[in-house]
Structure 1
Amino acid sequence: MNKELIINAGPTGVEVALLEDKKLVELHNEKADANFAVGDLYLGKVKKLIPGLNAAFVDVGFEKDAFLHYTDLSPYARSILKFTHAAINVNTKEGFDFSKFQIEPEIVKTGKINEVLNGKPNILVQILKEPIAAKGPRLSCEISLPGRFVVVTPFNDIVAVSKKIHSSDERKRLQKIVEAIKPKNYGVIVRTAAEGKNTAELHEDLLALIRSWETIQQNLKGAVPPTKVMSEQDKTTSILRDLLNEDFNKVVINDKNIYNDTRNYIQKIAAHKSDIVVYHSNGTPIFDQYGITKQVKSSFGKTVNLPSGAYLIIEHTEALHVIDVNSGYKSVSNNQEENALETNLEAAEEIARQLRLRDIGGIIVVDFIDMKLPDNKKKLQDAMEGFMRSDRAKHAVLPISRFGLMQITRQRMRPEVNINTTETCPTCNGTGKVAPALLLEDEIEKRLHYLVTHQHKNLTLLVHPIVHSHLTKGFLMSSTRWKWRRKYKTPIKIKPASDYYLTEYHFFDANEEEIKL
């Protein structure tokens, strides 16, 4: 598979496009002034306890209080409260030695929120989900600091290895390495990318994350809630960290600083592939150069057309997303069941792409074309699971129901990517009102009369091709153009302009300069 990453840096932020075989599959937009991103750490103030929900509302500086459920408190919630209080009020300049921090007993899974957060204390929290629609951010106290090869989880001494590393020998090797190098009071999760890495590489990654935790301790000293303690790496860096590997064939960037950082990063993880990073500087917009703008325009919106003539209707409600599959004019055979299966398989591939591209989360209900044979329904389910295998978000695909509906759940952490592909009508300028086309000829003639009476000669009129055809139709001497020439006693050239909208027209003088009134 040909994988490319195109990074477009502009004054308002950075756009990152992931292409697979030239097809756009992910689009990320990081605004320069973005706040409350997933992974950001805040010092928050508990404002309200809701025993009925077993949750708390926490002030982190957003217009609406953030939501913290008991299940997101972390077993080490009491340790976090103790650490937060100690870090804020520490007297020494260097802070305190976290390896000597005394961990508190774990909270019980079936406990109550008011037993842990009684007194509405200040607490260190991490953004679990960004604000979506009318909801504030969702928080977690299970603090995690992700790196390239490992994830550090303070307040525990557990070492875990990604289950995606299938070799038991490799898992044991990584476990032993990390147990030997990690400091006390730090838990470590070994990521899939660590497979085959040596001790020095893992140690370097671990030390960088521990330095980040020490920075958090320093930022907490004397802090007053609500305040941001540490921001997750910018989205461009985090995407490079999570996505970039040796499978990529090209990374194109239009910003010199990001180009240098990315090239250095590639040299660390795959030195022999550092040449895949290319700096784009030819003047053409980078998204236009690689066909991304066109794909964005065609991929977002209510209707998504498929190459065969079938199409999808994608609609969003407060509770879920609904996708309807329509066959259009597609027909591969005279067998209705076979037609339905082929169309559904094509639609399933595009749906999997759309979920990644728009970052659609929550519950998705897909109304596929009805099929009767159970084997075909199983083929469709297996195909959908296969198409979604490359999706980094957690997801689940349920079998097709008796009503022909497939239910999909997909992890939702950020607001859905929603790009408005409509453009303001150049004729009405968005008012929804246009001048009657039947009166256009009269309007042009009035303008012509004004110009001739003000000593303009040898005029050229540019109009839409349809209007040009109307004004020049008929025999030479009976056309509207010749009628005007005889009436106003001046040569008039009428030329078509294919880029004009229907009612647009402009007059030019003998020097080909537009006459503006």
Structure 2
Amino acid sequence: MVKELIIDSAPDSGVTIALLQDKQLVELNTEQVNNNYAVGDIYLGRIKKIMPGLNAAFVDVGYSKDAFLHYLDLGPQVQTLIKLTKIVKNGGVKEKLLTSLNLEKDINKSGKISEILSRNMLLPVQIAKEPISTKGPRLSSDLSIAGRFVVLVPFSDVVSISKKIKTGSERNRLKKIVEGIKPKNFGIIIRTVSEGKGVAEIEKDILDLVSKWEKFVKRLQVAEPTNKVLGEMDRTSTILRDLLTDEFTHIHVNDSLIFEETRSYIHDISPDLERIVKYYKHKEPIFEHFGVEKQIKSAFGKTVNLHGGAYLVIEHTEALHVVDVNSGNRTANKENQEENALMVNKEAAKEIARQLRLRDMGGIVVVDFIDMHKAPNRKELFEYLKQCMKDDRAKHTILPPSKFGLVQITRQRVRPEMNIVTNEKCPACDGTGEIRASIVLMDDIESNLNYILNEQNEQGVTLCVHPYIEAYIKKGFLSKRIKWFFKYNKWIKVKSIGSYYLTEFHFLNNKDEEIKL
């Protein structure tokens, strides 16, 4: 599988990152210029309200709406975090690591939040979900700092390994490496990408994360309530950290600053791949050059067409997303109707897995596949859908088809869904639904032509129109163009443009530049 990353930077819309697999768009990430609340950022929050009925608290982190912190998101060592915060804020911290800090007991899993937190208390919290719709951020005080190969977890001594690393010998090797490096009172989660990596690479990653923790403690000492204490990397670096493998062949960037930052970051984490970072210099927009823009227009919207003639209808509600699979113009006789349904459903399953990643759809997704009567076919579809979604980094659960043929999917939602408007404003009516009467079209053209030739005294004028209008102007022995020649004593070129709408026209000068009217 060939992977490419296309990074488009625009002053107004921020940075848009497209991930292509075998030239097909599978992920689209946008980093807004004004997005101050990214997943992974750590803030010094102030507890505003304790809600015993919800067993949760509302926390002020500077957002317009207070953020939500549930008891189950406090983390087992929240008491130690509260103690550390008090020590640091009082200036009593002697070291930035946790070597001499005595850890508190884990909190009761079924306890009450009012027993742990109180109003106006200061507590470092991490963004677990960005603000979505009318809701504020979702928080966690179970802090962690993610690296390329490992995740650093303070107030713990546990070393855990990704379940995707299957080999027992490799799991033991990685665990021994990490246990020999990690500082006291820090736990480590070994990520899948660390499989096969050497001691030096893993050690460097752990030391980088420990350095970030030290920076966090230093900043916490002077931080004011609602201040960001430690920021997650930008989206570009985060994607590179999580996805970069030897399968990547090109990374194209159209901004010189991001190009240098990306190249420098890749040099630090994987020097062998630094050569794949390319600076895009062409005048054509980068997404159009690599075919991303066309894929965006075809992939987003209510209806998504599939190659075989079938199509998906995707509807969104406040509570869930609904996907309906339609066979379209795919026809089949009674003998192979079941096979045809399975074929269409599998094609749809592959596209649905792509759409979930592409749009970053989260929450509950209900898919209405085409009915299949044979149990083995339903099982085959279920297994195929799970296989298609195995590369999805968001946590997800897929339930087998119900007796109504519905498949339910829950997918982790940590940021607002990607929503791109694919409909464009009609250039003929400017969105009003009405156009100028065609009967006065020639009057408009002649009026503008008279102004250009007599008032502006332009030479070598070319009229660009729709092909039908060009045929009308040139029609007959005494055509409009002949009449114009006798009237103005100048020959007017008429050029047909197939992409023009019927009543659209423009004038060009002898340098092929449009004459502004």
| Structure 1 segment 113-512 matched on structure 2, within 5 A | 113-267=113-267, 270-331=270-331, 335-445=336-446, 447=448, 460-473=462-475, 475-477=476-478, 493-507=493-507
Q: Which amino acid aligns with 1:214?
A: E
- Give 1:471 shift: 3.8
Q: Which amino acid aligns with 1:192?
A: T
Aligned residues of 2:151 and 2:191 also touching (Cα < 8 A) = yes
Q: List alignment gaps of at least 5 residues for structure 1.
A: none
Aligned residues of 1:95 and 1:218 also touching (Cα < 8 A) = no
Aligned residues of 1:361 and 1:411 also touching (Cα < 8 A) = yes
Name the SS for the 1:181 alignment partner. coil
1:11 aligns with 2:8: no
Name the SS for the 1:18 alignment partner. strand
Aligned residues of 1:340 and 1:370 also touching (Cα < 8 A) = yes
1:51 aligns with 2:63: no
1:393–1:484 Cα change, 3 Å? same
Aligned residues of 1:348 and 1:383 also touching (Cα < 8 A) = yes
Aligned residues of 1:245 and 1:269 also touching (Cα < 8 A) = no
**Comparing 228-237 and 279-288, the one that deviates more:** 279-288
1:48–1:488 Cα change, 3 Å? same
**Deviation by residue 1:404-455 (Cα, 9 ceiling, x = unmatched):** 2211111111111111222232223333432123432344455567778879
1:179–1:454 Cα change, 3 Å? closer
Name the SS for the 2:222 alignment partner. coil
**Comparing 255-264 and 392-401, the one that deviates more:** 255-264
The aligned residue for residue 37 of structure 1 is: 38
Distance 1:226 1:421 in 2: 38
1:454–1:356 Cα change, 3 Å? closer
1:386–1:221 Cα change, 3 Å? same
Aligned residues of 2:441 and 2:503 also touching (Cα < 8 A) = yes
Q: Which amino acid aligns with 1:56?
A: A
1:373–1:453 Cα change, 3 Å? same
Q: Which amino acid aligns with 1:431?
A: T
The aligned residue for residue 82 of structure 1 is: 83
Q: List alignment gaps of at least 5 residues for structure 2.
A: none
Distance 1:411 1:461 in 2: 56
Distance 1:265 1:126 in 2: 24
1:514–1:88 Cα change, 3 Å? closer
Distance 2:391 2:111 in 1: 37
Name the SS for the 2:409 alignment partner. strand
Question: For the aligned residues, what is the CA RMSD?
Answer: 2.7
Name the SS for the 2:281 alignment partner. coil
**Comparing 125-134 and 273-282, the one that deviates more:** 273-282
Aligned residues of 1:87 and 1:95 also touching (Cα < 8 A) = no
Name the SS for the 2:238 alignment partner. helix
**Deviation by residue 1:217-261 (Cα, 9 ceiling, x = unmatched):** 111113221111110011111111100012222222334444445
Aligned residues of 2:47 and 2:118 also touching (Cα < 8 A) = no
1:336–1:480 Cα change, 3 Å? farther
Name the SS for the 2:43 alignment partner. strand
Aligned residues of 2:237 and 2:265 also touching (Cα < 8 A) = no
Q: Which amino acid aligns with 1:156?
A: S
Name the SS for the 1:202 alignment partner. helix
Aligned residues of 1:250 and 1:277 also touching (Cα < 8 A) = yes
Aligned residues of 1:42 and 1:228 also touching (Cα < 8 A) = yes
Q: Which amino acid aligns with 2:290?
A: Y
Distance 1:492 1:283 in 2: 32
1:296–1:458 Cα change, 3 Å? closer
- Give 1:327 shift: 1.6
The aligned residue for residue 100 of structure 1 is: 100
Aligned residues of 2:60 and 2:226 also touching (Cα < 8 A) = yes
Distance 2:508 2:309 in 1: 44
**Deviation by residue 1:361-411 (Cα, 9 ceiling, x = unmatched):** 111111222222222222211111111111111111112222222111111
- Give 1:283 shift: 3.9
1:182–1:509 Cα change, 3 Å? closer
Aligned residues of 1:314 and 1:324 also touching (Cα < 8 A) = yes
Q: Which amino acid aligns with 2:195?
A: E
Name the SS for the 1:392 alignment partner. coil
* TM-score, structure 2 normalization: 0.91
Distance 1:375 1:162 in 2: 32
Q: Which amino acid aligns with 1:340?
A: A
